[in-house]
Structure 1
Amino acid sequence: QVIINGDFFVEPKRLIYDLEAYLKHTPLQDVERRIREFFKDRQWEGLNLTVDDIVSAVMFPLTKMEGLDLGMEKKTLNNIIGSIGGGLIENLKKAKVMLLPYCAKPRWCDYRHLDDCGECGGCTVGDAYRLAYQKGMIPITITSFELLRDTLKWCAENGYTYIGHCCYEFYEKRYEIFQKASKEGAKGVLFDIVGTTCYSLGVEEEERAYHGEFTVELDLIKDALVKSLSVKEDEKVSERVQRRHFDFSPFFKDFVPSYYKKPKAVPTPEEDRTRTALQKEVFLGDATIDGKTVSYETAFEVLAEWLRSAKKPTVVVGPLLLWDWQEEELSQKAKALRELIDRVGKIQVKVLPDYRPKLKKYDPSVEMDPPNPHESILHDQNDLTILVGVHCYRTDFVIRLLRKHTPTKVVALCGLYGHPEAHLSTSFTDAEKLLKILNLWKG
C-alpha cells in the first residue's frame, strides 16, 4: 500500500488516488514498471510534473526497504534518508567517499573546521573515519556548502559513489545539488544525524551554520552506518601515513598574535592539492584583472601600481605559508613574500593561521576571522587586500565577503588555478613570480 501526498496540480483530480489503488499489493521489485504501465495510455495533465517525477517520488522511500536485508529493523529504516541514483545496497557496495558534517564534531575539537580528523575516539566522526579507512573509502569532513558542492562535482567527474550524513532539513533544502550530482555521475546514500539542528533553531542559526559558526554538537547514527557498510569487504591496507609535523614559518613568526595557541591540527598543503583540483575549470590563463585574462607581466605591473597608490594595503598570510611544512617550494615562496613585505614597508600583515571561527575573541588588526574576513579589513580601512597562502576553497569565500561588505581591492596570488572573482588574480604563483613583483617595486 502506498499513500502519495504533496503540493501538485493534476487532471483528472482522481489520478493520484487511482494510482494508489493500482499499485496496491504490487511486489516492490515491480513498482516502477507498474507506475509506468499506469500512465502509458492514460490521458492526464500535471503542472510541472512528469511520470519520472512520480516514479522518483515513490521509489525514493522504497529503496530504504533494502536495509532489511542488512539486518536493520523496520523502525530504524528512517535513519536512512535515501539512496540517490540507484539501489541502496548497490550504492553501498560501490561507495568510495564518505562525507561527514563538521557539526557532528565536538566544539572543543581542533579538527571541527578541518576536512580531516584526529581519530581520538572522542566522537562518532572519528569512528566513521576509522570505518571508512577500514572499507577502503576516502573520508572528508564537509566544512562549508562550497566544499560540498565541489566535492560532489569531484565525485561526479571520477564516477565515485558516496555515503553522506546530514539532517532531513538540509537534504530538503539542498535537494537540487544532490540530484544534479546524480545526473552527472555521483550516486550516493544519505544517512540522518541526530540532535538539535540549525534549521530547528531559526534563520539566524542557519546563517551561522553556513559561515561555520554553528556551535551545537550533533551526532552520527553509528549502528546504522556499521550495519550498512557490512556489505563492503574490509580492505587490506599498509600502515597509515604519519601526520605532518608543523611549526610556524621563520619568515612570519613575528606576526603571530601573542594570544594565539598552536592547535593540534591545521590545514595542510595536501588539502589544497586534493580539493582544489575540483576548481580547475576556473582557470583562464596566467592572470586575470576584473575577470579578464592578462599576462603575468601586465598583472604584476598593475599590482605594483596599486601598491604604490594604496594608503593602507594589507597582506593576508594563510596556513600554506604561515606554517613551515618543510617543503622547499613553499619555503622559498614564504621567503620571497617576506622580502616583498619588508621592501614595500607600508604593508600591514594579518595572519589567517587556521579556519576555526574566532567568535569575536581575536584582534582584527593582526588576525582575520575565517567566517567574517570583512571585519578585519573594515577595522583598519584597508584599501588593498592581498591574499597569499590561503587554501583555494577558503579564498573564494573570503573574496565574496570582501567584495560584498568592503570597498577594498582584492588580490589573490594563488598557487593553483587562480580566482577570477578577485579584482586581480595570478595563477601558479611561486617564489619566482613574487620576486618579479619585487623587482617592479620602486617605492
Structure 2
Amino acid sequence: MSTDTATDQATSLLRFATAGSVDDGKSTLVGRLLHDSKSVLADQLEAVERASLGRGQDAPDLALLTDGLRAEREQGITIDVAHRYFATPRRRFILADTPGHVQYTRNMVTGASTAELAVVLVDARNGVVEQTRRHAAVAALLRVPHVVLAVNKMDLVGYAESAFAAIAGEFGAYAASLGVPEVTAIPISALAGDNVVTPSAHMDWYGGPTVLEHLETVPVGSDATDEPARFPVQYVIRPQTAAHPDYRGYAGQVASGVLRVGEPVTVLPSGRTSTIAAIDGLAGPVDVAWAPQSVTLRLADDLDVSRGDLIAPTGTAPGTTRDVEATVCHVADRPLRVGDRVLLKHTTRTVKALVKAVPSRLALDDLTQHPDPGELAANDIGRVVLRTAEPLALDTYADSRRTGSFLLIDPADGTTLTAGMAGTAFAAKTPVAAADDGWDFQ
C-alpha cells in the first residue's frame, strides 16, 4: 500500500471542535447539525422532546442533544466537553462541543488539542467579544489547521449582510495577527437551520458553503512522507514459544511519518542504532508502516529497548534533553508553582521532573505577557521551564502536535495537572545520562 492510501484514509475522518461565548448557540448548532444530517436516533430525539416539554418549551431544544449533564441542562450552558460521533456519505466526524465560559478554558484546550478544525461561534448581535478572541488565541496556540467563523443568530439581525461582513472582517484581521492560516466565515441561524446543513433562503447574498458542506470538503490530513517518522514503544513482545523462540518485537503506534524495512534507526534516549528487520501489521508482515498505524517493529540487533523509548530514522532523529521550555495550560484546581515535583508523560514515556521557573503568564484577552507570576492557576496559559530526571526525545510542538506535547501529573495521586506544548528546548545533540537520584535535578 502507498502513503497516498494513508492520506486518503486520514482525510476520511475529521476531528473538529466548537467554541464560543456563553449563549452563542454552540450546542444548538451541534444539535441542528446532528438532527438535519439524520444522525440522531429516534429514542434520542424522543428524550430531547420530553426534556424540552419538562422545561416548558413547545419545540425540541436541540442543544440538549449535546448538553447531557444534568448540571448543564439546569443552567442552560455547556460545562464538560461533549464528544459526538456521526457520519455522512462523504466523511466520518468526531466533534467536541467545548464550554464557552472563561472558567472552562481548560476544557476548550482539551477539546481542541486533537482537532483539525475549530468552529468559533459569534452572536451576530454582539460581534467579536473577549471570549471570541480568547478562543481564537487558543486555536492558534494549539495550531488547529482550519478555523470556521460561524456568525450565528443572523435571524435576529434581519439576515443583514452588513452585520456579517463587519464581524467577518474584524475576526479575520485578529486571526491573521495570531498567525491563523485560514478562516472561513459562514452566516448561520442554528435555531432556524439557515446554512447549517441546507442553504438559507433568507441570505441569497451569501454564495459560500453551508457548515456541513465545508466540514465534508475541507482538506485535512497530510502526506506522511512530509513528516519525520516517530515510533514510541508501547510494549515489548517476547512470546517465548517453540515456533518463535527468539522473537523480540516492539509494539506501538506510528506517531508520525513512514517507517520502512531495511531503514537505519536510532533508539532514544540511549542513542543506540540498528536497522528495521521486519514490520508486523495486523494482517501479517508489511514492508512499510505510516502514521497512525499500530504495528510491531523488529530490529536487526538485540538492543535493550523498553516501553517509553522512541525509535526514529537515524538521519532525522530528534535530540535529547533534560531541560524543557514549553507553553502550558494548567488544568488542575491546585496551582502549579516553582519548585513543584511532578511526573512528565511524553508519548509512552513517564519521567520525574521539577518546575524550575514560570517565566510568564499569557493574558488571552489582549495577548500580553505577565512576567514572573510565580504560579499558574486553573485555566492559566503560560511558559514554564522544567528539568527532568531522565532525557527526553522531544520535538517542538510546531513540528509535531503528537511528539511535541506532554502532560504534567501529580506524583501523589496521578491527577493531570498541566497540558504542555514544547517550545524552545535546550536540546542536546547527544544522549544525556540520567540522574543517579530520581529527584536530583541539579
Range into which the TM-score falls when normalised by the shorter chain: under 0.3
TM-score, L = length of structure 1: 0.25
- Per residue, is there more helix in 1 or in 2? 1
TM-score, L = length of structure 2: 0.25
- Per residue, is there more strand in 1 or in 2? 2
Higher Cα Rg, which structure:
1
